[in-house]
Amino acid sequence: MELREEVLREMVLLRERTPDISGSVACTVDGLTVACDLNADNAEQTAALSAALLALSARMAAMAGKGALEETLISGTAGFAAFYAAGPTIVLTVLAEPGTNLGLLRLEGRKTAASVAAIASRKR
């Protein structure tokens, strides 16, 4: 099975396990889309911004002496966007609705990011 298909399967499972998740995007650290589980026309822009945000967040965590980046969470009036490093080459962005259980989002987001990282390392 192709990388895109396996990653997309994990992203669909994430959405099915966590009802408040509205979709996700996986991209390379360069901002190129790997897989998309969004009903949006701006997936390419989401991927590019996700890669940039993850790079900035990792640099800030290191500069502040807070260790390795685990996640970045953006809270907005219309919901949440969570960003995870899925290994050294992929960024997983998860979008969620207002009122989402953030503990569940974090738990399931990290679990999916680990699965995506494992898939990517096998596909090298």
Whichever domain contains 91, its CATH number is 3.30.450.30
Expressed as residue numbers, the domain containing 37 is: 3-122
- Spatial separation of the C-alpha atoms in residues 64 and 107, rounded to whole Å: 24
Q: 96, 79 in Cβ contact below 8 A? A: yes
- Spatial separation of the C-alpha atoms in residues 76 and 79, rounded to whole Å: 5
Model pTM?
A: 0.94
Q: State pLDDT tens for residues 33-72.
A: 999 998 778 889 999 999 999 999 999 999 999 999 989 9
Total domains in the chain come to 1
